[in-house]
Structure 1
Amino acid sequence: MATSSSNASGFSRVQAACATCVRGGKRFVGRYRAFLLDPGTLFTLASLILLVIAAIVTPDGLINPEHAHTWLYLASALAGSVFIWWEAIQGIREKDFTADIPVSFATIAALIIGQYSAAAVVAVLLLLGGMLEEFVSARAGNALDSLAKLLPDRVTIRREGEDRVVALSEVLLDDLVLIRSGERIPVDGVVAQGTASINQATITGESLAVEKRPGDPVFAGTLNELGALEVRTTKVGEETTLGQIRRMVEEAEAQKAPIERILNRYAKFYTPAALILGALVWWWSGDILRAITILIVFCPCVMVLATPTALVASIGNAALRGSLVKKGATIEAMAKVTAVAFDKTGTLTFGRPKLTTIQPLAEITENDLLRLAAIAEKLSEHPLGRAVVQAALSRELTVPDPEEFTVLPGLGVRARMEGAEVVVGRPQLLSEQDIDVPAEVVARARNLAEGGRTVILVAHNRQVVGMLVLEDTLRPQAGLVITRLRKLGIRTVLVTGDNTVPAERIAGELGISEVHAEVLPAQKVEIVKQLQAQGLNVAFVGDGVNDGPALATANVGVAMGLGGTDVAIETAEIALLSDDLTKLPHLLSLSRQAMRAIKQNLIFSLSVLAIAVGLAIPGILAPVTGALLHELSSIPVIANSARLIGLRERD
């Protein structure tokens, strides 16, 4: 019976896993339907699948020309080559000479002499690179759709004295929108009534929640963490700040020039050289086989391998160390980066408040003061309250529930514990509760707050007994990263929507001299463009929705993978999956090493080409021996690229 039960349980788990896979597959097909049905994707997958089957059935056909004459290798070669030939014809019509043209001649020549496996491998390698780039573009498009998830489908408005639930599209200018605790704000507007703590990091990048009172502006897509508001609508739909962010991301993606592949860069010279030399040899010798040999040895097989093998090895190295590089061209772009612009909140810092200082102001210990505040804040939903409770728990203090708990207007709390009253809040709130706050305490709190910190006071039985200081703290590795970047000759810039004082404090601690604070998403884009106008290749590192346009505009966008939003992660070309900034200097160094390896591969392949041409002109090399020389010359190229996988991070 136990075995039967165990088998049933195992079958249920397998069934559940299968169901999850099916649902995931359906979602993937739904999101990427256009990409999956694209002719380039279909031809690439068909050629790749046939090549894999052929390699399984006849594995030695990949290295032995005599065993490459199978219909599976031929089918794979034709499936890939037909699409490349079509692309080459389209390129010639549009006077766009890309790698498709020399590869077309190479695959035709390989097919003529029966090198079906060589033609298939070259075709698949070229097509896979293009397909992966198209997939990244499709992901970027889906990232824009995820912006809509930041807004509710239906909202509550107050019209003619009645509360009505309507679709977001029906909200009009000057409508009064009601926003409860935990809801996202659906429009840009001004607070008409109420007090709330709003997390607007997605728009402005501010690390701590902002208190909103009547007359204060609010933005669509921000989160009401605590409190209730009535907001008078000033902007709706595409006119909101969030709508403008979406539009800027779209425009940046459309205007950003695609990175030109190395092989495409030289294809316009390479192809005519092969054709002219082949024709001259035929005219001079009268031997068509020598001309075909010239085309075969001119085949950019090794050149095709020279770039992608190094790029794939680099991408694999990055993945093993927790960084997702989405396409090979990003490695080429990363190698040219000369400036890195950082967002602050959630990038250089953790993006959440942390208790950093406990100052008793009476005869009370730090732990007792923290315990009082934690008990009072235990039932609070405010991020500052949660940070206080977390700090107490990290010190292994006992934090029981308060006997009574009240949220005070002005975002403070009052609690009763062990027969005593405890009030926690900012100095102004305590004064509003008729608690005497000494002038020297107010002055000390003001001085601490000027550094971009949040200061809250703790009153026990209506006497101020202590002060707690909370702030967004630096990631421990941030300073090391800036130092390493400077050693690499990289210029560093801080670009944040947060207030000037905390931005300059963070920059000072890290040694960043160039600071742009209190900037909106559109201004971040302008700063990136200004750096590019100075001749710099810019990498932008960010995590929020407000960073999306800048990530798309920069030469390379780098997103924080754990704490980053979907928009940031999918707009960027690189995601730091572990949120470890130390991976950034490694990626820059790795990219530069990859480009050196590619140049070495190209020099080697051109040297082999020169030797092969020298042997083909007098007829020493025949078509088959020429193809064999090409096959053998690819081994050093692959080995040189493979060493990049083991490249380690430098201290």
Structure 2
Amino acid sequence: MPSRRRKKAILNPTMPERHPVDEIQADYHTGLTKEQVVYYRKNGWGNVSVEAPSKSTKDIIKSNVLTYFNGIFLLISILLILVKSFKDLSFLPIIIANSLIGIIQELRAKNVLDNLTVLNAPKATVVRNGKEKTIAAEHLVLNDIVVFHAGNQIPADAVVVEGSVAVNESLLTGESDEIRKNPGDHLMSGSFIVSGTCYARLEKVGADSYINKLTIQAKASREGEQSEMIRSLNHIVMFAGIMIVPIGILLFYQGYFQQENTLKDSVTSMVAAVIGMIPEGLYLLSSVTLAVSFIRLSTKNVLVHDMKCIETLARVNVLCVDKTGTITENKMLVQEVIKLPPYETDSPALPLDELLGDFASAQQADNITMEAMKAFFTNTSGSVPTGVTGFSSAYKYSSVSFSGGSYVLGAPEFILRQDYDTYREAIEEQGKKGYRVLVFGKYEGTPDGTALTGRVTPYALIVVANKIRKDADKTFRFFAKQGVAIKVISGDNPVTVSEVATQAGIANADQYIDASTLETPEVLREAVNKYTVFGRVTPAQKRQFVHALKETGHTVAMTGDGVNDVLALKDADCSVAMAAGSDAAAQASQLVLLDNDFGHMPEIVMEGRQVVNNMERSGSLFLTKNIFSLLLAIFSIAVGFSYPLKPSQISLISMFTIGLPGFLLSQLPNQDLIRGKFMNNVLLRAMPAALTDFIVVASLVVFGEVFDVSSVDISTACAILMAIVGFMILHEIIKPMNIYKYIIIWICMAGMVFCLVFLRDLFGITGMSMRCIMLFVVFSITTEPILRYLIRLVRKINILYNKAKDAFARNARRKMRQEDV
């Protein structure tokens, strides 16, 4: 009879309302009935996640509409309406379009992500009505009977009712040790099954379990962490947001109270300056560009958990890969069985193939090695096992006990230990061919899944191998050309891994080391920068390798598909998992290759480079306007002039020299290596252009005052002069030119000319007096040499700055060495 006890209600505002229920503990063979599941779900006891899987449509609209800068735009729109300057509201369609584009792109990205996430959502095998079926983890309810196999993540707190498993609780405890769980033992949500199979009853679901805390971590949504590009853009936005308020107030005060301009002229002058300083288009362009890249990657079967990682992967200079599933296909075949002399000496009652058949038959096919064993060794004697331990990644063996003795199968170093040297030559001979070698033998004692202490009599070497992926050589050649160092991190024999890596075309694959010899952090840190191939790597060491590489200044990407890769994946700058791997690895990674094709990696890197390189160019255009507007506003306040440009003119110039070309350029292919820091690169391009704009426009305003040119004429001259400088800057920034870039410039110039001729009233463009035209021509001619010499000056200053910085760093290192001595 199933037991019943009252369950207290725990309310959570993000979950369905809970009501007290009678707890039903069904037999593990049959599980809950359909009616019992409905009963639990109706009363709020489902395994519903507290965290929403993605932003809702309402949240997306709010985040794009209710922004700080949109609030500023709303305020200045109200001011313009109050002073009846309606034609200066020409920026409104652009602002509305910007918000709509952001909403549409985010909604499209949300739909793609939601659809792809369904393919990779956490799932569980549940027993209901006496049958096993696989369902989404969120469809589980309290007291469901769940079947766990190796690689599964535990979706809710549970208790083992039948079977035995080894569990990795590293995400919860920080320790990578495996813990054996038997009937009556508790399984914590967020931990992972490493080996074995069991039936478990869910004790705590939804808000009660640990899984809600782990969901954020497992999906790698790293709140607070930003890529370099986004972090730089945030700094620009923050600075502009702080500056526009006091400058806007000062401009209005000066125009209205000191110069005694009309209220309309004072408001429009202030609004023009504020609009010029707002970098909203830059931030929006980055979001749209990343969203478009995300959608492009989704068509290539790449699931992106975090769009920021697209940029990060483009900056990676060290890629850590596993042998199995990355260099080779995630399938293993037995190549050969080599009998060893002790087998003949021992003369066991059963032939070797039957011993191996009995061993394989008793094991679960919970890893690719055991799948290969079960497929190859099919001849059995029918012996009934008295004890079984699944494969332990920590101790590198599995075991089966029969009435006649216990047998183990695993890595030679862990099985043979002190006897390894006796068989070293035979083992390494196979390893040099790229094969993996396992030792099968009889154990003195009864294995319990922990480290072996008794002696093993080796009976045979089992030679197995993975097939190298057909595109592996091409992929690794690509990374070599791009200056990305490959580190092969594997639990297999280093000689074997080295040979496989060599066959896959990995540079310096002959430089290998046994990670079990790296006993101190200092030795490990030195080795990780010296060697290419690491064998016999433990789960804890994988994480240490990532940390050591990051500490030496590298940007590290990590690929993995197993439970033991999770901590290293979490700590890498960018993490990539295969969908065919464990649930844990797929959820812990920022990118998931849904078709398990490592050959997509070059495409992902190229996508990231396109984003960063094009955003640097587009960002320079936006920042040029922001720096120019800031300088001109400060100049106007300092010398007591009215801000010469109108809001409608700023909108016109921004549309055709910044906004439209910036977006079109961001979509062009660009596979150049990323060099330097994002902010430095943007400023190096933007500063000469902004200074040129400021010098010629400010000079034109001053000379306009000297020669008594009307402010209306000067305003038009400044707008056209800014357009000319804008196209010169655009041409300079997007070099080297090609046909597509020329087309972009021609389209933008045609649009500008059309507006100047046919929509001049809308954008405040008027005729100019002869005196104004002469000044305009003079300053138009001076723009090219000013821009050219400023570019040279800024580059020279940057070179001198970098030399000084390097010299300072060298002196600091020399001083530290002297202090150590």
TM-score bracket, normalised by the shorter chain, equals 0.5 to 0.7
Aligned to 1:530: 548
Alpha-carbon distance change, 111 to 599 in structure 1, aligned in 2, over 3 angstroms: farther
Q: CA deviation at 1:640?
A: 1.6
- SS of equivalent residue, structure 2 residue 464: strand
Amino acid at match of 2:651: A
Query: In the TM superposition, what are the counterparts of 1:68-79 in structure 2 within 5 Å?
Result: none
Aligned to 1:73: none
Match of 1:264 among 212, 221, 234: 234
Match of 1:318 among 293, 297, 305: 297
- Normalising by structure 1, report the TM-score: 0.55
Match of 1:590 among 594, 607, 632: 607
Distance (Å, rounded) in 2 between the aligned partners of 1:559 and 1:352: 16
Alpha-carbon distance change, 30 to 376 in structure 1, aligned in 2, over 3 angstroms: closer
Q: CA deviation at 1:350?
A: 3.1
Q: CA deviation at 1:342?
A: 1.6
Deviations 1:450-469 (A, max 9, x none): 56324789xxxxxxxx9973
Query: In the TM superposition, what are the counterparts of 1:163-182 in structure 2 within 5 Å?
Result: 180=163
Aligned to 1:639: 664
Distance (Å, rounded) in 1 between the aligned partners of 2:409 and 2:51: 53
Q: CA deviation at 1:535?
A: 0.8
Distance (Å, rounded) in 2 between the aligned partners of 1:292 and 1:29: 53
Aligned to 1:470: 464
- SS of equivalent residue, structure 1 residue 185: strand
Alpha-carbon distance change, 567 to 109 in structure 1, aligned in 2, over 3 angstroms: farther
Deviations 1:76-121 (A, max 9, x none): x8xx22xx34xxxxxxxxxxxxxxxx56434543565556554445
Match of 1:623 among 641, 644, 647: 647
Amino acid at match of 1:44: D
Amino acid at match of 2:288: T
Aligned to 1:71: none
2:120 equivalent to 1:153: no
Match of 1:490 among 484, 491, 514: 484
Amino acid at match of 1:639: L
Distance (Å, rounded) in 2 between the aligned partners of 1:389 and 1:147: 21
Aligned to 1:105: 72
8 A Cα contact 1:296 1:623, kept in partner? yes
Aligned to 2:597: 580
Amino acid at match of 1:636: P
Aligned to 1:560: 578
8 A Cα contact 2:273 2:643, kept in partner? no
Match of 1:184 among 165, 170, 192: 165
Distance (Å, rounded) in 1 between the aligned partners of 2:104 and 2:75: 19
2:599 equivalent to 1:543: no
Match of 1:306 among 272, 285, 297: 285
Amino acid at match of 2:550: Q
8 A Cα contact 2:561 2:580, kept in partner? no
- SS of equivalent residue, structure 1 residue 541: strand
Distance (Å, rounded) in 2 between the aligned partners of 1:248 and 1:499: 35
8 A Cα contact 1:350 1:475, kept in partner? yes
Q: CA deviation at 1:492?
A: 1.6
Aligned-residue identity in percent = 18
Q: Which runs of 5+ in 1 are unaligned?
A: 1-22, 49-76, 86-101, 156-164, 166-178, 189-201, 206-219, 228-241, 361-370, 393-398, 414-424, 428-441, 458-465
Distance (Å, rounded) in 1 between the aligned partners of 2:492 and 2:569: 18
Distance (Å, rounded) in 2 between the aligned partners of 1:490 and 1:640: 27
Query: In the TM superposition, what are the counterparts of 1:62-101 in structure 2 within 5 Å?
Result: 80-81=65-66, 84-85=67-68
Amino acid at match of 1:307: S
Distance (Å, rounded) in 2 between the aligned partners of 1:516 and 1:257: 30
Amino acid at match of 1:553: D
8 A Cα contact 2:47 2:156, kept in partner? no
Distance (Å, rounded) in 1 between the aligned partners of 2:561 and 2:62: 38
Kindly indicate whether structure 1 or structure 2 has the higher relative contact order, using CA contacts under 8 Å at least 6 residues apart.
1
Aligned to 2:475: 481
Amino acid at match of 1:540: M
Amino acid at match of 1:149: I
8 A Cα contact 2:102 2:288, kept in partner? no
- SS of equivalent residue, structure 1 residue 184: strand
8 A Cα contact 1:542 1:551, kept in partner? yes
Amino acid at match of 1:300: P
Match of 1:292 among 271, 274, 278: 271
Distance (Å, rounded) in 2 between the aligned partners of 1:45 and 1:253: 17
8 A Cα contact 2:409 2:440, kept in partner? yes
Distance (Å, rounded) in 2 between the aligned partners of 1:141 and 1:372: 41
Distance (Å, rounded) in 2 between the aligned partners of 1:121 and 1:28: 42
8 A Cα contact 1:310 1:594, kept in partner? yes
Distance (Å, rounded) in 2 between the aligned partners of 1:42 and 1:322: 24
Deviations 1:578-631 (A, max 9, x none): 222122233223212221100111122234557888999867643344335444
Amino acid at match of 1:271: G
- SS of equivalent residue, structure 1 residue 540: strand
- SS of equivalent residue, structure 1 residue 308: helix
Alpha-carbon distance change, 523 to 405 in structure 1, aligned in 2, over 3 angstroms: closer
Amino acid at match of 2:293: S
- SS of equivalent residue, structure 1 residue 153: strand
Deviations 1:174-215 (A, max 9, x none): xxxxx85xx533589xxxxxxxxxxxxx9799xxxxxxxxxx
Alpha-carbon distance change, 258 to 628 in structure 1, aligned in 2, over 3 angstroms: same
2:619 equivalent to 1:602: yes
More divergent stretch after superposition (277-286 vs 633-642): 277-286
Query: In the TM superposition, what are the counterparts of 1:356-435 in structure 2 within 5 Å?
Result: 356=335, 386-387=371-372
Q: CA deviation at 1:547?
A: 1.4
Amino acid at match of 1:109: I
Amino acid at match of 1:293: A
Q: CA deviation at 1:551?
A: 1.2
8 A Cα contact 2:102 2:284, kept in partner? no
Deviations 1:482-505 (A, max 9, x none): 222111111221223444444444
Distance (Å, rounded) in 2 between the aligned partners of 1:521 and 1:590: 31
Distance (Å, rounded) in 2 between the aligned partners of 1:327 and 1:583: 17
8 A Cα contact 2:218 2:587, kept in partner? no
Q: CA deviation at 1:297?
A: 2.8
Match of 2:437 among 453, 456, 476: 453
Amino acid at match of 1:153: A
Distance (Å, rounded) in 2 between the aligned partners of 1:639 and 1:27: 51
Deviations 1:232-259 (A, max 9, x none): xxxxxxxxxx99xx89968998798443
Distance (Å, rounded) in 2 between the aligned partners of 1:253 and 1:606: 29
Aligned to 2:538: 520
Alpha-carbon distance change, 264 to 375 in structure 1, aligned in 2, over 3 angstroms: closer
Alpha-carbon distance change, 152 to 291 in structure 1, aligned in 2, over 3 angstroms: closer
Alpha-carbon distance change, 587 to 107 in structure 1, aligned in 2, over 3 angstroms: farther
Distance (Å, rounded) in 2 between the aligned partners of 1:112 and 1:645: 43
Aligned to 2:59: 44
Distance (Å, rounded) in 1 between the aligned partners of 2:216 and 2:566: 8
Q: CA deviation at 1:638?
A: 2.0
Q: Which runs of 5+ in 2 are unaligned?
A: 1-40, 81-88, 124-136, 139-150, 170-174, 179-190, 199-209, 340-352, 388-397, 402-407, 411-422, 442-459, 512-530, 637-641, 673-821
Match of 1:333 among 296, 312, 334: 312
- SS of equivalent residue, structure 2 residue 463: strand
Alpha-carbon distance change, 153 to 33 in structure 1, aligned in 2, over 3 angstroms: closer
Match of 2:321 among 337, 342, 360: 342
Deviations 1:131-155 (A, max 9, x none): 999x99x999999999752899343
Q: CA deviation at 1:291?
A: 0.6
